[in-house]
Amino acid sequence: MWFSWMLLLASLATSTASSKTREWAHHGAVMFADLTPQEMNAVRDYLYSCSELGLTSARDKSLKKNSILLMELHVPRKHEALRALDRGQARPSRKARVVVQFGNQAMPNVTEYVVGPLPFPSSYQVKTFKGDRPIRFESRPISTVEYEHLNKVLEKVAAKANKILQESTGFTYGNCTNRCLTFSDIAPRGLAPGERRTWIMLQKFVEGYFIHPVGLEVLVNHKDLDHEKWTVEKVWYNGQYFDSMEELVEKYEKGPINKLKLPEHDEEDLFSTYIPRGHMNTRTNIHGAKLVEPQGRRFQVDGNFVEYAGWSFAYRVRSSAGLQIFDLRFNGERIAYEIALQEAIAFYSGDTPAAMQTKYIDAGWAMGTSDYELSPGIDCPEIAHFVDLYHYYDTDKPVRYRNALCIFEMTTALPLRRHYNNNFKGGYNFYGGLENHVLVIRTTSTVYNYDYIWDFVFYQNGVMESRVSATGYIHATFFTENGLNYGTRVYNYVLGNLHTHLIHYKVDLDIAGRDNSFETIDLKYVNFTNPWSPGNSIVQSKLHRTQHETERSAAFRFGKKFPKYLHFYNPNQNNNWGHKKGYRIQYNSHANSVLPRGWREENGISWSRYPLAVTRHKDNEVTSSSIYTQNGPWEPVVSFEEFIRNNENIVNQDLVAWVTVGFLHIPHSEDIPNTATPGNAVGFFLRPFNFFDEDPSLASRSTVIVRPDEKGQPKVQRWTPEVVGHCVSDKPFFYNGTYAGV
């Protein structure tokens, strides 16, 4: 009797603790929620009232102005957030990070501020980067106004060359209504710090213009804040360089150059469109398979707080970089404090100046603001929970991105586990299986030509997957024979350029607490005398563990042997079988470095040297990249290499794993019109490694067990309803596609 009472009291205590844990997680989630439009407007109005800043509209046509470039949430320090998450204490006040461009002063600069408290801001203070590095004005992201001035430069240049363009391509630039040209700009904008020189590639302005280069590229120097002083420094036409457009025109007229003549443009044979063509024997008078929720939704969303099958987490979409999750817990126990996309790069090779200069570093294009509307049934299942997102970037008011994030449960059409227990008599002892349902939170980033699909996937057995799938148009340049060394011909005058995608994540693990250690596990052969046959030897594999005690020892270089198991564990917490409670990171990637160490632009992406680096958590090492790296990679304001330079001890510490995944893409003819997602998905898994005492998905009631009864008839045991509910929604397909100020 006494024992039963003790069990009951223990159960009640566990239930109370679990309830508090959930309550505190929910209480703290709002700390990580993106700024609301009301908060953005309040911050803008407050800063405009500060006369010493002298702020004007971001859309003012002058570049000599002080204006807000970016506004997003300023996340509280970890120890402050944990007081709310782990003790239920008051949340720290919400604040905003604001990037201001000061162009209207003798020494133009970019300054970041922390503004608060929200929702009624009353103060601001300068926000600095590690080492107090200044932000060069030339490294700022390009703005809409600057693009407008670049367009005017191109119109002036084209006015001199439209005869050449018309004869060479059948298209013209500026003052045209049909058969017009557009442009793509290349980054970084120069070859050294302090430059702002951009190669610009002309293209046919048709659907899918990214793969319609026309063989003319120009280099524009637009460093001066007086756009009337901008100049064209170089011109590339059909494989030939000229010092000015005037030189090209003169030599074109006199005839001593290789003239270009593209095939006649055929509107009916536009290879870059999505319009179906070719034959497929799939029936088209009926729809394909769809995802349904037979008895309704099984996950809960409250603001930015999500719960599903033991999981809970908060999410946000950072305007500068993209999707993040915070306070990731399974059954109330924290696995990670933060898992956040940091950067995505695509470094190209080619024969034209635009191709050889293309080194895209996508946070510099405010990658998080490129999360446009998701279509039901294609981008996400029709049953998904869609969320609008709001950003404040290069604007004067918040911009609403309709249905830009989705959350849904799906079946993987693969069992999470199953077993057929053969009785070897033509029958079975039992069959057991568990449906593999997962929760997915998804956004996309359309950074110009490429579309990245960002997923965090949560499995019932305590596994989390981070995955990015690449699609969209390839970055193509004009075909030259030498270009075949750097890519593939995909149309008669189009080269698909080889490039490497690298994606970088911050994974702040808190495995059963903040004090964690890191080891790698490999195998070694051992050779010993066979104990039951002394005349023979046994050769087999043996576990070989390496404890990594310093940051340098846990920074693994590309090109070196990479350990098989990457194990993060709490040295102070054991499971029931005496093992340290841990999780491991498992890669799905075939990445490699993109430039030699220390080579110019590589300094800005020093994280790309390592598939994995492990550091101690520091509040001043919040991100591994910045929005300034794209146009200032030579002297970056954030240098990841400095995170590990001091080589601190990482035993029994608060650890952060910095994970790099990616792939090489050599374009091929099947990339027309678009790169497809199959085979172009990379990422990593967080997998429990002795964290639990057994597979936690045993708690799932989706298990089915079949045993033969005494008459040999199947006896089905299940814990979910027999009857499948309603089918897919009968709502018609709807897609708006717009985004506008609110």
- CATH, domain range 299-699: 2.70.98.20
Please report, for residues 39, 458, 660, 704, the alpha-carbon distance to residue 315 in angstroms, rounded to integers and kept in the order given. Answer: 18, 13, 21, 33
What's the rounded Cα separation, in Å, for the pair 165 and 178? 14
16-127 shares its CATH topology with 133-277? yes
Q: Give domain 133-277's CATH architecture.
A: Roll (3.10)
pLDDT for 14 = 54
φ/ψ (deg, to 5) at 166? -65, -45
Residue 651 token pair: 């035993």
Mean pLDDT of 445-473: 97
Q: Sketch the domain layout of the chain as residue ranges.
A: 16-127, 133-277, 299-699
What's the rounded Cα separation, in Å, for the pair 477 and 245? 20
Active-site residue numbers?
Answer: 362, 450
Mean pLDDT of 114-135: 95
Number of helices followed by number of strands (H, E) in the chain: 7, 37
Q: What is the pLDDT of residues 341-381, one digit of tens each?
A: 999 999 999 999 999 999 999 999 999 999 999 999 999 99
pLDDT at residue 551 tops 50: yes
What's the rounded Cα separation, in Å, for the pair 65 and 57? 8
Q: What is the pLDDT of residues 585-602, one digit of tens each?
A: 999 999 999 999 999 999
Residue 715 token pair: 């006896």
Q: What is the pLDDT of residues 604-629, one digit of tens each?
A: 999 999 999 999 999 999 999 999 99
- CATH, domain range 16-127: 3.10.450.40
Q: What is the pLDDT of residues 63-79, one digit of tens each?
A: 999 999 999 999 999 99
pTM: 0.94
pLDDT at residue 732 tops 90: no
Contact 507, 658 (CB under 8 A): yes
Return the percentage of the chain with pLDDT > 90, whole number.
Answer: 86
Mean pLDDT of 29-56: 98
Between 245-254 and 144-169, two packed helices, what is the crossing angle to 10 degrees?
A: 0
Greater model confidence, 726 or 47? 47
Q: How confident is the model at residue 266 (pLDDT cuts 50, 70, 90)?
A: confident
Q: How confident is the model at residue 327 (pLDDT cuts 50, 70, 90)?
A: very high
Contact 701, 720 (CB under 8 A): yes
Residue 25 token pair: 């997680």
